Chain A
Amino acid sequence: MDVHEFQAKQLFGQFGITVPRGKEITSPEAGAAWVAELNTPVFVVKAQIHAGGRGKAGGVKITKDKAAVPGLVKELIGKTLVTHQTGPKGREVRRLLIEEGAAIAKELYVSIVVDRDSGWPVFIASTEGGMEIEEVAAHTPEKIIREAIDPAVGFQGYNGRNIAFALGLPAMEPAVVNPFIQMLGNLYRMFMEKNAAMVEINPLVITSDKKLIALDGKVSFDDSALFRHADVQQMRDLHEEDPLEVEAGQNNLNYVKLDGNIGCMVNGAGLAMATMDVIKLAGSEPANFLDVGGGATKETVAAGFRILLKDPNVKGIFINIFGGIVRCERIANGVIEAAKEVKINVPLVVRLQGTNAEEGRKLLAESGLKVEVADDLWEAAQKIVKLTGKAA
């Protein structure tokens, strides 16, 4: 789960990491009130959306003129920002962060993720703050510093020294070395205690008066650990998520919307991905990823149909079930029952294999439903692509 910049900064603050004084604002009135209180030479107004590239898209405004801030608030709230991460439709701005500006002397980069291979948390740091780390890694990999942390003992002083010296921090600004190492320890503590999947400070700035400030931050959380953190759950902003994905989640379905026009419903994540791939191979594009899980029932199938059919791009539906513990005749009955409740006005191909597959296929064939039944994966994919015509 992703959170907004202002929420990430609230958490940084809780863990003793210095951030600019700032506040979340959703109206010009609130903006004016906060500006009066903030009292700073430079005001920064930042659009809060779950996507990077806000600055380039015009979502970040800087002004020295206190009186200009309400106008900037008006301009940004309700504006649709299109960045390289939002897709062409962009994202509507509903909230802003208004904070004090900083006198930047130097920008650094720091993040923590879990290294999948070793299973150890690893710091990634660079002197190239303010740039996208993927770009730095691609063009100047020698400027990326990695420091793995032994989870048995956690962050140690030497980990911090390794990073600080590798960055050349003592030569750059000796006064910030110890605060920097302390800050890294705090960031690690936050990462572990809050079950974050990623924490990133970019840029971490050294100011002209030799202070360290997290000027921008990004935090995402491990969905599997949200049950432990009521405070983090409350940070969820449903406006930032696809409404169909939200609805799927409420029905315990795993759904990701894509841009093609063949809707798929599959049991199991790996098979669901493979089904998308096979649709592409057959000459079309999948409209979604949808895993109905190991225990697919009439209810989950019906919910799946409803979600697929709400996507106007869907011109046909491909159900691919490999019955293991789930018996295919149950799935077939689920499809038949669900089809009675949900009007299916697009071609439907159902491929059943595994436990009681033949029985399931027979039930569907005799149901009177307009459905093509298949037993082979490739044959089924070709069928649905043919029935829907080639993808646009």
Chain B
Amino acid sequence: MSILVNKHTRVVVQGITGKEGSFHATQCKAYGTLVVAGVTPGKAGQEVEGIPVFNTVRDAVKKSQCDTSLIFVPPPFCADAILEAADAGVKLIICITEGIPVNDMVKVKRALYGRDVRLIGPNCPGVITVDEAKIGIMPGFIHKKGIVGVVSRSGTLTYEAVHQLSTLGLGETTCVGIGGDPVNGTGFVDVLALFEKDPETQGIVMIGEIGGDAEEKAAAFIKKNVKKPVVSFIAGITAPPGRRMGHAGAIVSGGKGTAAEKMKTLEAAGVRVVKNPAEIGHAIKLALGR
């Protein structure tokens, strides 16, 4: 078992003929992911590393039975691409693109509301179920099949945590990057619920950062619903208020969204919060009694 994606997941890559799209489609395929189609308008009939390219997601779904989309479309056209995937019947949309206008995401989120489709991201590294499917830009080789589920707002900081888990011999089940934008698809709570239900996942690492109240929402959910041990690190305790720290969503505004407040709320919910990111692996190992 695992969450969200597995070896049967059939992936279409939107923006497959671009530099990023073609590189990562190739990497995902090499990892063993079923990358069955690509989409670039006007380039139907071409192939990228043996992956057939279609003009529209609708065509791709019809011809390749893909159920999941991985999006590398540039920011100005990305809202359009997400909505196209949803309308074509894709059930899971993983959007890597960084820099989509917030108001575009406001409209996308509203349009997807109540529909049978899940959006991960945007501005995220994607989702990997170890040894089954890598649908994103993370380096596959640092992952090791194991027992910890990872959910994070960050990219390279997630790799840091994964590296620790793999080195300590714990390994991971599925790692989900929910992205660093202020308005995104799936939040911490949804992923935590999936990990709690997944029999293979024994412990959870949750990596948050300053800005918004996703961590506070997660804390309330964990307190009520999560029995498995959760270890958390919140980046940005040293970030000054009112300044955006790289990610569009990483900003303390009006005194809200500080790392200190998030840590306090998570601790009160029974989460083991580490102040040192180098200790994430050890903390979950300890929590799991290993």
Residues of A within 8 A of B (CB): 85, 114, 116-117, 119-121, 133-134, 137-138, 150-152, 192, 195, 197, 222-225, 227-228, 254, 256, 258, 266-274, 276-281, 285-286, 289, 291, 294, 322-325, 353-355, 376-378
Contact = CB atoms under 8 A, between A and B. Distances in A.
B103 A271 contact: no
Contacts of A268: 154-157, 246
A275 to B, nearest CB: 8
B239 A120 contact: no
Most buried by B among A117, A133, A277, A377: A277
Nearest to B211: A116
B118 interface: no
Given A133-B254, A225-B101, A269-B180, A151 B106 contact: yes
Contact of A322 (B159, B207, B212): B159
Contacts of B138: 324
B265 to A, nearest CB: 15
A134 B180 contact: no
A116 B213 contact: yes
A189 to B, nearest CB: 12
Contacts of A294: 137, 155-156
A285 B105 CA distance: 36
B179 to A, nearest CB: 11
Nearest to B185: A119
B204 interface: no
Interface stretch (B44-52, B221-229, B275-283): B275-283
A222 B102 contact: yes
Interface stretch (B32-40, B59-67, B107-115): B107-115
Contact of B243 (A151, A256, A355): A256
A270 B106 contact: no
Contact of A291 (B27, B210, B246): B246
Contacts of B153: 270
27 contacts: A114-B183, A116-B183, A116-B249, A119-B110, A120-B110, A133-B254, A195-B103, A222-B102, A222-B103, A225-B102, A256-B244, A268-B156, A269-B247, A270-B153, A270-B157, A270-B180, A271-B154, A271-B156, A273-B238, A277-B259, A278-B276, A280-B237, A323-B139, A324-B142, A325-B137, A377-B277, A378-B276
Interface string B93-105: 0000001111111
Contacts of A324: 137-139, 142, 155-156, 159
Contacts of B141: 355
B245 A273 contact: yes
A277 B110 contact: no
Nearest to B107: A151
A41 B152 CA distance: 59
Given A280-B238, A322-B156, A324-B139, A117 B213 contact: yes
Contact of B160 (A223, A271, A291, A355): A271
Contact of A276 (B104, B159, B239): B239
B58 to A, nearest CB: 23
A298 B235 CA distance: 27
B182 A353 contact: no
A297 to B, nearest CB: 14
A353 B164 CA distance: 11
Contacts of A323: 139
Chain B interface size band reads: 35 or more
Contacts of B100: 224
Given A119-B110, A151-B106, 5 more contacts: A119-B106, A225-B104, A273-B238, A277-B238, A322-B160
B118 to A, nearest CB: 15
B217 interface: yes
Interface string B146-165: 00000011111111100100
- A-B pairs, 7 with minimum CB distance: A270-B154, A269-B246, A268-B156, A270-B157, A225-B101, A378-B278, A119-B109
A223 B141 CA distance: 35
A34 B128 CA distance: 63
A133 B255 CA distance: 11
Contacts of A285: 238
Contact of B106 (A120, A279, A281): A120
B154 A269 contact: yes
Given A121-B106, A151-B107, A270-B235, A116 B212 contact: yes
Nearest to B208: A270
B195 interface: no
Given A289-B239, A354-B163, A377-B278, A273 B207 contact: no
Nearest to A291: B246
B240 interface: yes
B209 interface: yes
Nearest to A272: B246
Nearest to B243: A256
Nearest to B257: A116
A149 B159 CA distance: 38
A34 B109 CA distance: 48
B102 A354 contact: no
A256 B102 contact: no
Nearest to A279: B238
Contacts of A278: 276-278
